[in-house]
Amino acid sequence: MSKIKISVIPGDGIGQEVVPETLKVLDTLAEIHGGVSFQYETHPWSCEYYLEHGIMMPTDGMARLHQTDAIYLGAVGNPKLVPDHVSLWGLLIKIRRECEQVINIRPAQYIEGVTSPLAEPNNFDFIVVRENSEGEYSEVGGRIHSGEDAIAIQNAVFTRKATERTIRYAFELAQKRKGRVTSATKSNGIVHSMPFWDEVFQEVANTYPEIETESNHIDALAAFFVSKPQHFDVVVASNLFGDILTDLGAAIMGSIGIAPAANINLNGKYPSMFEPVHGSAPDIIGKGIANPIGQLWTAKMMLDHLGFEELGSMLFRAIKETIGEGIKTRDLGGSANMKEVIDHIIGKLRLYSK
Ligand code: NAD
Ligand code: IPM
Ligand code: MN
């Protein structure tokens, strides 16, 4: 029996609702497999934890995460309790940075049965590879002066190392897919970092002659996500551009409640972290209507990453069939609650294994 240790951080808001429910699905999959058990170490790190302890996670928290095979996170942030910059720098971004999760992978694809706001969503299927360690999310900057003279400064930091490894990751991924990489840029002379990004993109592209490449300005690219999403295969983007593009990717799928993500550690020193694209959804806390699919699809990405691709595929099949049968939460136009979706998926998994 192989034992997989997973750090579980439900976090805030609907994270606390969907994460425990989706662990039931993971347990069902482990049961079906028969040769694996998932051992959870669950941490209450959240804004409520902060109010009690004055920190988002204990000082030995990071060391505890390092001892596990993967981190499974719901969402962080409850601005009514703690300002976002405190909770996010203290937990979410802290883990991404200190566990060196330098790449963020975010798939978006047409799912049958989900009503996309696009007139013709026609089976689009792309993955955004987002730089996850620096860029516009640098730690350089701050405020000077106050009152009428106040200035806020944010210095974007683009290192060759991080830019190159992100772009290279995108090319490697495209080799296993349809063979096209689109770079999200803004190189029309306004932003200093982007001509540099383009240069590195071109250098890497030269080493993958079989991959088709293109660069789109971020503003035009956002529009193309709506007008021709089928065109894209792998899209590579800086931290902030990738953040914005992936909420858009979620929206054209039909709901941010279904979009998954993985924060990948490439050097094998620390665990990767799996968390959906959506946040803590303060407006629907406690109603039982949160869509668990984003978290579940994220769990599929974690299973694939851990080498349980068969379980990952089984889970994805159950997700798609459940949606196809109309067992959907309200954000997808259905009337099921979160638990009904989970129960239906578990029922399907049990059927497959018979
Ligand atoms: P959000 O993603 O939490 O919510 C945006 C909208 O989508 C809301 O109307 C919400 O109800 C809806 N929504 C989100 N997930 C849903 C789901 N699973 N099912 C149904 N509806 C869903 O974004 P926001 O309101 O901008 O942010 C709220 C808080 O979450 C903030 O503190 C923000 O910083 C934080 N946040 C955290 C993460 C993360 O931890 N990965 C990501 C995004 C936002
Ligand atoms: C996401 C979120 C985070 C990000 C926030 C909460 C810091 O929006 O994971 O998409 O911008 O990376
Ligand atoms: Mn985001």
- Domain range enclosing 60: 1-104+260-354
Say which residues have a Cβ less than 8 Å from residue 121's Cβ, sequence separation at least 6: 110, 229, 252
Tell me what the pLDDT averaged over the chain comes to.
Answer: 97
Retrieve residue 9's tokens.
């951080």
Q: Tell me if 92 CB under 6 Å of ligand 1.
A: yes
Q: What are the tens digits of pLDDT across the range 8-61?
A: 999 999 999 999 999 999 999 999 999 999 999 999 999 999 999 999 999 999
pLDDT value for 94? 98
DSSP tag of 191: S
Query: Closest-lying ligand to the alpha carbon of 77?
Result: 1
Which CATH number is 149's domain given?
3.40.718.10
Confirm or reject: Cβ of 88 under 6 Å from ligand 2.
yes
Does 110 reside within a domain?
Answer: no
Say what the pLDDT of residue 354 is. 86
- Tens of pLDDT, residues 261-320: 999 999 999 999 999 999 999 999 999 999 999 999 999 999 999 999 999 999 999 999
pTM metric for this prediction:
0.98
Same domain (yes/no): 243, 264: no
Residue 86 sits in the same domain as residue 43: yes
Does residue 33 lie within any of the structural domains?
yes
Domain check: are 294 and 347 in the same one? Answer: yes
3 state DSSP class of 186? coil
Average pLDDT of the residues in 325-345: 98
Is residue 245 very low, low, confident or very high in pLDDT (cuts 50, 70, 90)? very high
Q: How confident is the model at residue 190 (pLDDT cuts 50, 70, 90)?
A: confident
Percent of the chain with pLDDT over 70: 100
Distance 78 CA to ligand 1 centre (A): 10
Is the C-beta atom of 56 inside 6 A of ligand 1?
A: no
In tens, the pLDDT along 115-174 reads: 999 999 999 999 999 999 999 999 999 999 999 999 999 999 999 999 999 999 999 999
Backbone φ/ψ region at 21: left (φ over 0), alpha (ψ -120 to 50), beta: alpha
Q: In the listed set 200, 230, 253, which residue is the last one of a domain according to the structure?
A: 253
**Domain boundary residue among 225, 253, 281?**
253
The DSSP element (H or E) to which 129 belongs, if any, is strand 125-131
Which DSSP string do the residues of 86-108 spell out, in sequence order? HHIIIIIHHHHHHTTEEEEEEEE
Ligand 2 contacts CB of residue 277 (under 6 A): yes
CA dist., res. 112 & res. 320, Å (int): 7
Give the number of the ligand closest to the Cα of residue 244.
3
> Alpha-carbon distance 125 to 143, whole Å?
41
Give the confidence band of 110 by pLDDT, cuts at 50, 70, 90. Answer: very high
The pLDDT score that the predictor gives to residue 187 is: 87
Domain count along the chain: 2
All residues with CB under 5 Å from ion ligand 3: 243
Residue 354 and residue 245 share a domain? no
| Residue 139 is assigned to a structural domain of this protein | yes
Give the model's pLDDT for residue 331: 97
